[in-house]
């Protein structure tokens, strides 16, 4: 290669990439080394898009600069490292509240991913998240209670943490005297007035250890980042049965699947039916770009076209789709009888339950997103 990059060249390059990512509201920046170059990608509305290809000979300088920004060990190239990049006013990232860097060694060099967290007070309000009227009213009903367990299900990146933050803000605003504590791994959003505890899976402060101790700290509302194992599930259920309002997340494709997963973890059916108040299943679908979406005859839906405003993707922003079941008499009876997934699904269908796919199709009919996008997201359920 003829051009020789200096340290200042790489510094400017990184600043430009960060600024462009922020201006396009990217959630992640990927620096992926290959045999011949380094590919820069942005995650835009949940999808990765190639942005640039950097020459191979500067890839190590790029990683070194990122390590300096995150105060990591520049001389260690053989181990994973994680850190935070401090905000810089000069890079135009005043809307960014956190930048997390993760470095990982590969056969072609070190791979880096920066996750960007934005300040969005609008999404801190439960009413603004985009839930249907039924789900919104049900969530508020549970938030008004003094005990019980609310579960949120969905894959990583489906907005569960944002929903939990919105519920906590609702409780905090409506019931200012309540003691609220969260256990998170990691703490993703600092919420003023709420006690937040960072959990480390590699350390001694695990979810079960912290949760047991916290129950002696007189909390009224507890939020656990995720129920990952049977031990955490048992303690959470006990908390919901003993005068605590507890919220958490689980990996499950459907609300009914979450209930069955608790049984598979060894919990007794009566414990599940007595403690669980409701289960929400949610996903995020890409919102059509209002600047370039085109109507599709004859059903009134729209298609993604692509323009400079959306970096050619045809989409700008994301919108929530979801479904929810409340623990009522019929569902309780089914769980106590240890009904399987097919039986639970049949019960929900017989009473007109709106599933996530149907919720998404309503957005398609309103021109908010496309059928392809809804089908793609719901097919992973």
| Per-residue pLDDT reduced to its tens digit, 39-80 | 999 999 999 999 999 999 999 999 999 999 999 999 999 999
What are the residues facing 247 on neighbouring strands? 150, 223
* Average pLDDT, integer, range 130-144: 95
Q: Looking at residue 67, what is its pLDDT?
A: 97
Per-residue pLDDT band for 6 (boundaries 50, 70, 90) equals low
What is the CB-side half-sphere exposure of residue 273 using CA atoms within 13 A?
15
Positions of E strands within the chain: 28-33, 37-44, 47-55, 81-84, 96-106, 109-118, 148-153, 180-184, 195-198, 221-224, 245-250, 276-288, 294-296, 301-303, 315-326
Crossing angle of helices 133-143 and 160-174, rounded to 10°: 50
pTM to 2 decimal places: 0.85
Per-residue pLDDT band for 96 (boundaries 50, 70, 90) equals confident
Is residue 2 over pLDDT 60?
Answer: no
* Average pLDDT, integer, range 329-341: 94
- The whole-angstrom separation of Cα 336 and Cα 65 is 58
- The whole-angstrom separation of Cα 124 and Cα 145 is 20
- The whole-angstrom separation of Cα 176 and Cα 21 is 37
Query: Phi/psi at 365 (nearest 5 deg)?
Result: -65, -25
* Average pLDDT, integer, range 199-209: 80
* Average pLDDT, integer, range 109-126: 87
* Average pLDDT, integer, range 129-138: 94
**Weakest mean pLDDT among 88-92, 173-177, 237-241:** 88-92
Residues in the chain: 381
Q: Looking at residue 4, what is its pLDDT?
A: 53
Report pLDDT digits (tens) over 30-42.
Answer: 999 999 999 999 9
Residue with the two structure tokens 């919901």:
240
Per-residue pLDDT band for 380 (boundaries 50, 70, 90) equals low
Residue with the two structure tokens 């590699």:
202
Q: Looking at residue 232, what is its pLDDT?
A: 92
Going by their DSSP bridges, the two strands 245-250 and 221-224 should be labelled as: parallel
């Amino acid at each position: 290669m003829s051009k020789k990059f200096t340290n200042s060249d790489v510094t400017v390059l990184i600043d430009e990439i960060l600024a462009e990512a922020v201006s396009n509201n990217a959630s992640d920046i990927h620096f992926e080394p290959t045999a011949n170059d380094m590919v820069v990608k942005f995650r835009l509305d949940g999808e990765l898009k190639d942005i640039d290809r950097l020459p191979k000979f500067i890839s190590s300088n790029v990683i070194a600069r990122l390590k300096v920004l995150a105060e990591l060990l520049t001389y260690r190239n053989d181990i994973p490292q994680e850190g935070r990049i401090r905000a810089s006013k000069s890079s135009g990232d005043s809307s960014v509240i956190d930048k997390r860097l993760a470095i990982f060694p590969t056969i072609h060099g070190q791979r880096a991913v920066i996750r960007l967290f934005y300040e969005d007070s609008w999404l801190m309000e439960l009413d603004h998240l985009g839930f249907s009227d039924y789900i919104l009213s049900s969530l508020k009903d549970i938030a008004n209670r003094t005990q019980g367990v609310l579960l949120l299900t969905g894959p990583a990146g489906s907005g569960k943490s944002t929903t939990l933050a919105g519920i906590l803000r609702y409780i905090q605003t409506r019931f200012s005297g309540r003691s609220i504590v969260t256990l998170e791994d990691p703490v993703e959003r600092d919420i003023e007035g709420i006690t937040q505890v960072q959990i480390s899976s590699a350390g001694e402060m695990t979810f079960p250890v912290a949760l047991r101790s916290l129950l002696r700290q007189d909390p009224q509302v507890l939020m656990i980042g995720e129920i990952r194992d049977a031990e955490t599930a048992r303690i959470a259920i006990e908390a919901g049965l003993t005068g605590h309002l507890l919220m958490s997340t689980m990996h499950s494709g459907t609300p009914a699947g979450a209930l069955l997963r608790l049984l598979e973890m060894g919990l007794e059916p009566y414990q599940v039916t007595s403690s669980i108040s409701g289960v929400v299943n949610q996903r995020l679908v890409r919102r059509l770009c209002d600047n370039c979406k085109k109507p599709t005859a004859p059903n009134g839906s729209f298609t993604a076209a692509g323009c400079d405003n959306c970096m050619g993707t045809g989409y700008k922003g994301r919108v929530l789709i979801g479904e929810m079941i409340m623990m009522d008499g019929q569902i309780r009876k089914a769980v106590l009888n240890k009904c399987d997934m097919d039986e639970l699904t049949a019960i929900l269908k017989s009473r007109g339950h709106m599933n996530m796919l149907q919720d998404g199709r309503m957005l398609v009919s309103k021109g908010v997103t496309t059928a392809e996008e809804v089908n793609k997201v719901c097919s992973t359920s």
